Amino acid sequence: EPEVTQTPSHQVTQMGQEVILRCVPISNHLYFYWYRQILGQKVEFLVSFYNNEISEKSEIFDDQFSVERPDGSNFTLKIRSTKLEDSAMYFCASSGGRLQSNEKLFFGSGTQLSVL
């Protein structure tokens, strides 16, 4: 069964360092997302991406965050200067179409980011 793949599964970094989280969405999917979940809290939307552009971003997705589709298969989330409060599980997700067209969202296994 096709799945969303994320690497690394765990990332430890020092405050102020840059991190790049990587994702390979399901191969025939065109719509991509990043969500995060701080321990014990809700899954929160960060950003959606389609056709090499950001479709929508939340208040969390400030200037320290960026996304990129560097090639035909990868989708990355970069945090330029990490803060302690960026520590969370980051989930990549993809869908085959727009969610209001009754498409479904499938999640990767996540990257646990720990900022020290």
Interface residues with another protein (CB under 8 A) are: 31, 33, 41-45, 48, 50, 55-56, 91, 98-100, 102, 104-110
Our CB check for another protein shows the closer of 15 and 98 to be 98
Query: To the nearest whole angstrom, how small is the minimum distance from the Cβ of residue 13 to another protein?
Result: 20
Whose CA is closest to 43, among 89, 9, 8? 89
Is 114 in contact with 8 (CB distance < 8 Å)?
no
Whose CA is closest to 111, among 25, 21, 41, 24? 21
Query: To the nearest whole angstrom, how small is the minimum distance from the Cβ of residue 42 to another protein?
Result: 5
CA distance 103 to 86: 30
Our CB check for another protein shows the closer of 24 and 105 to be 105
Our CB check for another protein shows the closer of 84 and 104 to be 104
